[in-house]
């Protein structure tokens, strides 16, 4: 069972840790391969193309037969028809025209990767995933590559070699030997190449603070060379501040457009599927707000954490993102003043409402430091769509009621 392996994250299963949202940054195959190359893992030479014409030029530059590969953030592209061989540059152009614009399980292909075609003798599988339960990176290696690893795990679990690396000790050559002998690789040159790749993959995994680095297939060519033919590379979002070059790889087109806007503005926002726009200060309180809105019979439209600040610009940015969602029918601000003072947040909200016109009802619950002062400011402003409530439950009920009225 590979139940502990990280799977593709969805908005619903993102994990909330105290104070911050944990997310993963999935890289495209071509980006992962560029990182592999940086760490010395052999890959085929290739070019990125956004049009059939660019694909043709790329194939001409590379010379010889090429493979045209859809670049989407989902696996199984081969089965879906997103990977095709082309004998000539003309053929590469034609194949790219077929693949570009294709929808692979909800992912529209906007880019193709053109690389020199490989002559494949065998397909292996090598990955490192962060094993949360063991709190250690976990190598998985098998000579049964090229297919879905979950299938191998189910049908022939003994074919998988699983090996943890103690992060304090790091990688040692015996890890590589254990992997290749364990999987029954007999050929000495192959053993050597695979062990070397395992060491480099570990360096890439730790160097980029990855959560997953996967090579499927890791091929042996007809001339005996071992090479990464595919890449799946997931970086820990929480470590990105240490890797500005990796953070730049994030594809804003592929993300939810609202989440992309939020990221641009530095707003912590996760799109949900309901009608009540939820804002809180602090991830814990915001999660509780999502729960209370649900308890009150409403459906949250988002999770939006204002963090510690309640300054006008932060509120404007958050409101801009939330109101861009056409599903939102009412907005619920849930603020607990600790270090953040409620009167400051109230001023922020009022300034935000001066800067942008919002017709939707806005319910504000202020509690904690200077709550009374904050509520007084809101009441004095006498905006017709502002409703101040004293408790979280009352606030949630009011916002649900207002959402069904409007
Ligand atoms: P995935 O289907 O999304 O995992 O995409 P992969 O990059 O793993 O490619 C799927 C399959 O296409 C591989 O397992 C290979 O069998 C085949 N393939 C990819 N590149 C080449 C190539 O250069 N030459 C040949 N002969 N087959 C390739
Ligand atoms: Mn693959």
pLDDT score for 259: 81
- What is the pLDDT averaged over residues 43-59? 97
- What is the pLDDT averaged over residues 83-109? 95
pLDDT score for 18: 29
Q: Which helix (H) or strand (E) holds 147?
A: none
Which residue's alpha carbon is nearest to atom 12 within ligand 1?
78
pTM metric for this prediction:
0.69
- Is the C-beta atom of 65 inside 6 A of ligand 1? no
Q: Which residues are CB-neighbours of 168 under 8 A, at least 6 positions away?
A: none
pLDDT score for 11: 33
pLDDT digits (tens, 9 = 90+) for 289-314: 999 999 999 999 999 998 866 677 88
Instruction: Identify the three-state secondary structure at position 87.
Output: coil
pLDDT score for 10: 35
pLDDT score for 1: 38
Catalytic residue flag (residue 125): yes
Tokens representing residue 254 in the block: 């592929």
Catalytic residue flag (residue 387): no
- Is the C-beta atom of 402 inside 6 A of ligand 1? no
- Ranking 89-93, 168-172, 339-343 by mean pLDDT, the lowest is 339-343
Which of 312 and 367 is assigned the larger pLDDT? 367
Which of 244 and 139 is assigned the larger pLDDT? 139
- Ligand 2 center to residue 79 CA distance, Å? 10
Tokens representing residue 125 in the block: 């599988």
Task: Kindly tell me if the per-residue pLDDT of 109 is higher than 90.
Answer: yes
- Is the C-beta atom of 117 inside 6 A of ligand 1? yes
- What is the pLDDT averaged over residues 21-50? 91
* Matching residue, tokens 């959560």: 211
pLDDT score for 255: 67
pLDDT score for 81: 97
Tokens representing residue 104 in the block: 């692979």
- Ranking 30-34, 237-241, 363-367 by mean pLDDT, the lowest is 237-241
Given the residues 30, 125, 202, 387, the one annotated as active site: 125
pLDDT score for 112: 98
Question: In whole angstroms, what is the distance from residue 133 CA to residue 181 CA?
Answer: 26
- Is the C-beta atom of 75 inside 6 A of ligand 1? yes
pLDDT score for 262: 86
- Ranking 174-178, 312-316, 347-351 by mean pLDDT, the lowest is 312-316
- Ligand 2 center to residue 38 CA distance, Å? 20
Given the residues 93, 115, 214, 389, the one annotated as active site: 214
């Amino acid at each position: 069972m590979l139940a502990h392996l990280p799977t593709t994250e969805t908005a619903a299963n993102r994990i909330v840790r105290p104070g911050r949202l944990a997310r993963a940054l999935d890289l495209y195959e071509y980006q992962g391969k560029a990182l592999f190359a940086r760490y010395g893992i052999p890959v085929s030479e290739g070019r990125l193309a956004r049009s059939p014409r660019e694909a043709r030029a790329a194939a001409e530059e590379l010379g010889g037969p090429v493979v045209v590969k859809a670049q989407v953030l989902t696996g199984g592209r081969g089965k879906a028809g997103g990977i095709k061989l082309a004998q000539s540059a003309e053929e590469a152009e034609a194949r790219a025209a077929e693949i570009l614009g294709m929808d692979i399980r909800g992912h529209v292909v906007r880019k193709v990767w053109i690389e020199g075609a490989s002559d494949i003798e065998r397909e292996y599988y090598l990955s490192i995933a962060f094993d949360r339960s063991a709190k250690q990176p976990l190598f998985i290696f098998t000579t049964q590559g090229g297919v879905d690893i979950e299938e191998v795990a189910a049908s022939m679990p003994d074919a998988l070699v699983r090996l943890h690396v103690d992060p304090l000790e790091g990688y040692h050559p015996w890890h590589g030997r254990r992997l290749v002998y364990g999987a029954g690789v007999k050929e000495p040159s192959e053993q050597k190449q695979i062990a070397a790749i395992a060491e480099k993959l570990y360096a890439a995994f730790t160097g980029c603070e990855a959560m997953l680095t996967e090579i499927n297939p890791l091929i042996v060519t007809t001339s005996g060379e071992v090479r990464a033919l595919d890449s799946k590379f997931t970086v820990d979002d929480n470590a990105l501040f240490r890797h500005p070059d990796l953070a730049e790889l994030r594809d804003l087109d592929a993300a939810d457009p609202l989440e992309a806007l939020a990221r641009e503005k530095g707003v912590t926002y996760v799109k949900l599927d309901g009608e009540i726009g939820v804002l809180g200060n602090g991830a814990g309180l915001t999660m509780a707000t999502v729960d209370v809105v649900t308890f009150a019979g409403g459906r949250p439209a988002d999770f939006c954490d204002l963090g510690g600040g309640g300054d006008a610009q932060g509120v404007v940015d958050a409101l801009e993102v939330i109101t861009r969602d056409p599903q939102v029918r009412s907005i619920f601000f849930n603020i607990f003043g600790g270090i953040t003072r409620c009167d400051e947040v109230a001023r922020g909200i009022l300034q935000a409402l001066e800067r942008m016109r919002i017709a939707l009802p806005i319910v504000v619950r202020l509690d904690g430091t200077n709550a009374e002062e904050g509520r007084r400011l809101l009441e004095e402003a006498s905006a017709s769509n502002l409703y101040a409530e004293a408790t979280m439950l009352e606030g949630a009920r009011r916002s649900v009621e207002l959402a069904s009225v409007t």
